[in-house]
Amino acid sequence: MYGLIVCTKCRVHAQIITVGTSKTVQCQRCGARLELRKLQLINTSEDRDVIVKARTLMQAKIQTNGSVHTVHATGPNCQIPQKNIINGDIHPYVPEDSRNVRSRDPVKIILENISGKAEMSIDELEEKCSVHGIERILIEKVIARLLETGDLYSPENGKVKKV
């Protein structure tokens, strides 16, 4: 059986996999190692031609900054009502509780929230970033990475400042 996935790291590449043959797959675009058990299968089929068509649609939708779920909603395994298909055309699917948590890069949000040359407490920064839907654990990881790369520094314990 064939499956269609989208890389969760670069989010710009859809690829076809053989379901059940391995535990990890490498993104053909960015090279990231992806654990299959953590990925959502956008579409599955025994027929390779069906998956190739679904991948083509998905890749076109991604290239035009469309919703990944739009093509998923047209697949045979999707439980979402297909009210987004009008006269054969695919229209963006917007979930009822539409919260686009991953709409922007967490690094950019964190750097934008640190005001100018002033230092900021990590707790205050986490509060500002949580408004954008970024989880505390991700904020801590991004801050640690920014400290390592030298984009931020810590003038005193519990505070950060832009370089």
| Spatial contact of 152 and 146, defined as CB atoms under 8 Å apart | yes
Name residues of the chain where pLDDT drops below 50.
67-68, 70-71, 79-102
Q: What is the DSSP letter of 41?
A: P
pLDDT of 95: 44
Radius of gyration, alpha carbons of the chain: 20
Q: Are residues 36 and 75 in the same domain?
A: yes
List all residues 6 or more positions away from 40 whose beta carbon is below 8 Å from its beta carbon: 5, 6, 72
Residue 63, domain member (yes or no): yes
Identify the pLDDT of residue 128: 85
Residue 106 CA to residue 128 CA, distance in Å, equals 12
pLDDT value of position 36: 85
* Predicted pLDDT of residue 120: 87
CA distance 140 to 112: 16
The answer to whether position 61 is within a domain reads yes
Residue 138: domain span? 106-162
